[in-house]
Structure 1
Amino acid sequence: MTMRFEELGWRDSPMGEISLRRRFDPEVRAEVYEVKLDDEFLMSSLFTVAERELSHLGLARVAADGDLDVIVGGLGLGYTALAALEDPRVRELQVVEYSEAVIDWHERDLLPDTVGLAADERVRLVCADFFAAAMSAEGFDPERPGRQYDAILLDIDHSPSRFLHSPHAAFYTEEGLRAMAAHLKPEGVFAIWSDDPPAPEFMTVLMGVFAGVKAKRVWFDNPYTGGRSSNTVYTAIRA
């Protein structure tokens, strides 16, 4: 018999209590895994199309032939990281996750769709503040300050104007993005997921820092509405 609801893990953080739960959803007749921050829903295993497309679209714009070093900002349920590993060019995937609890869920393989992700020899799960690292001179690798990457893929906040934590706002400015861009190789790619439609204001900010800025609306079926919903993936290239 399938359990209707089970809380698999939770832990306090400076942003609030983060928790993972599994429930049987009679609407879709399947088990659904969800992450919450206090009472706010962050992500669901029902809606993963755009999270995967973040990796597919971002890495598709990387011109290098192989041995890619990639940063993923935000581990979550793991779909963005898993999709990045589908690209045979990826040599190392460093996933920067703020919450120790989220890393622990993956190290214990609590999520069926991403079992083995933490054990993949190409993957490094790092507990750190993505935004602090991105805007620092040292960057994402304390052992190699100033190290540059082929791609930085970001899926943490709801959108560039709706933050999980107010200090994140500084990142979404030309100054913040320019500091992050210093950690990309020439012609390296920055890609970011958003829950909102393409925002002209953010496009303008991106174009002040990057070349080849694009915003693609990613559509997917929504069983709760009976229609379709969308997210946005922005991609941009360090000139």
Structure 2
Amino acid sequence: MEHVEVARAETERGEVLLRRRTTDRGPAVLELRVNGVFVMDNQETSTEIELAAAALALVEDPRDVLVGGLGLGFTVQRLLGDPRVERVVVVELEEALVGWMRDGTVPHGPALLADRRVRVVTADVRSAVAEATGDAAADGTTGGSGAGRYDLVLLDVDNGPGYLVHDANAAVYARAFLTDVRRLLAPGGVVVVWSADTAPELLDTMTEVFGRCEERAFDVALQGRQEAYYLYVARPDAA
């Protein structure tokens, strides 16, 4: 197996790296790593896609969607494949990753981000959600971003609470942030959180915040080995 660096950026949080992985068994694979930790690639994308599909299946009219974490864009791609979706706001912390998607370093990126329904915000998702809930309070509404409430909120900003790439992201899985997220939901809205492993404390916290939460496991083949990833799905009785 050979690894070739495609792009690298150094940020105040550390290193963001795109590299190409090649073997004699198939086409080259584009892989994203942060601070040396594998985040995702463009070979095994089933759970990124399922993150969107699971939520879309639960909402009758998912017009407005908030996505925390751009990654390589496969969650957003699945959302845009649904004709019911009218607006996707993507919050991504790493400016370099957004740039690589826009300039074609990630080959499918330019077409994806050119979709008129997509707006990318380069920010910490915690700050973006806090600002959105503040905007909502200021204008007397209950939902945010100055443009209405969200039918879906999808969070894939790290490898889950047990395998953090950035320690500060622990707050994304905590009660205070999830309570802010709930305030952004439209009636009947759904929140889905991705995790690389089981997260019983997250399940408990989401149950406490949203009233109910379901854990869904998905088997994946990752670089020649079998793994399981998890989605935590919450749909409040009254959002």
Q: Which residue of 2 aligns with 1:77?
A: 72
Q: Which residue of 2 aligns with 1:220?
A: 220
- CA–CA separation in structure 2 for the residues paired with 1:166 and 1:135: 19
The answer (yes or no) to whether the contact 2:101–2:107 under 8 Å persists in 1 is no
Gap change, CA 1:144 and 1:233, over 3 Å in 2:
closer
Q: Which residue of 1 aligns with 2:117?
A: 122
Letter in 2 for 1:209: V
Aligned residues: 229
- CA–CA separation in structure 1 for the residues paired with 2:223 and 2:125: 33
Name the one with the larger helix percent: 2
- CA–CA separation in structure 1 for the residues paired with 2:169 and 2:221: 30
Structure 1, 5-14 or 149-158: larger mean CA deviation: 5-14
Q: Which residue of 2 aligns with 1:23?
A: 21
Report the 3-state secondary structure (helix = DSSP H, G, I; strand = E; otherwise coil) of the residue aligned with 2:38.
strand
Gap change, CA 1:211 and 1:9, over 3 Å in 2:
same
- CA–CA separation in structure 1 for the residues paired with 2:169 and 2:205: 15
The answer (yes or no) to whether the contact 2:101–2:108 under 8 Å persists in 1 is no
Q: Which residue of 2 aligns with 1:46?
A: 43
Structure 2 regions of 5+ residues with no counterpart?
Answer: 137-143
Report the 3-state secondary structure (helix = DSSP H, G, I; strand = E; otherwise coil) of the residue aligned with 1:10.
strand
> 2:198 matched to 1:208?
no
Report the 3-state secondary structure (helix = DSSP H, G, I; strand = E; otherwise coil) of the residue aligned with 2:119.
strand
Structure 1, 177-186 or 6-15: larger mean CA deviation: 6-15
Q: Which residue of 2 aligns with 1:56?
A: 53
Q: Which residue of 2 aligns with 1:231?
A: 229
Gap change, CA 1:144 and 1:202, over 3 Å in 2:
closer
Give identity over the alignment, percent.
Answer: 34
Report the 3-state secondary structure (helix = DSSP H, G, I; strand = E; otherwise coil) of the residue aligned with 1:116.
helix
Letter in 2 for 1:218: F
Gap change, CA 1:40 and 1:139, over 3 Å in 2:
farther
Q: Residue 98 of structure 2: which of 103, 116, 121 is its match?
A: 103
Gap change, CA 1:105 and 1:80, over 3 Å in 2:
same
Letter in 1 for 2:106: L
> 2:30 matched to 1:33?
yes
- CA–CA separation in structure 1 for the residues paired with 2:172 and 2:160: 12
RMSD of aligned Cα (Å): 2.3
Q: Spell out, residue by residue over 1:190-217, the C-alpha distance to the aligned partner (whole angstroms, 9 max, x if none).
A: 10111003x3322111111114421111
1:188 Cα offset (Å): 1.0
Gap change, CA 1:201 and 1:12, over 3 Å in 2:
same
The answer (yes or no) to whether the contact 1:133–1:139 under 8 Å persists in 2 is no
- CA–CA separation in structure 1 for the residues paired with 2:222 and 2:91: 29
1:160 Cα offset (Å): 2.5
Q: Spell out, residue by residue over 1:117-159, the C-alpha distance to the aligned partner (whole angstroms, 9 max, x if none).
A: 011111112111112222443369xx94484211111111111
- CA–CA separation in structure 2 for the residues paired with 1:72 and 1:213: 19
Structure 1, 178-187 or 162-171: larger mean CA deviation: 162-171
Letter in 1 for 2:84: R
The answer (yes or no) to whether the contact 2:55–2:190 under 8 Å persists in 1 is yes
Letter in 1 for 2:82: D
Structure 1, 89-98 or 206-215: larger mean CA deviation: 206-215
Q: Spell out, residue by residue over 1:62-98, the C-alpha distance to the aligned partner (whole angstroms, 9 max, x if none).
A: 132x6x1111111111111111111111001111111
Letter in 2 for 1:22: R
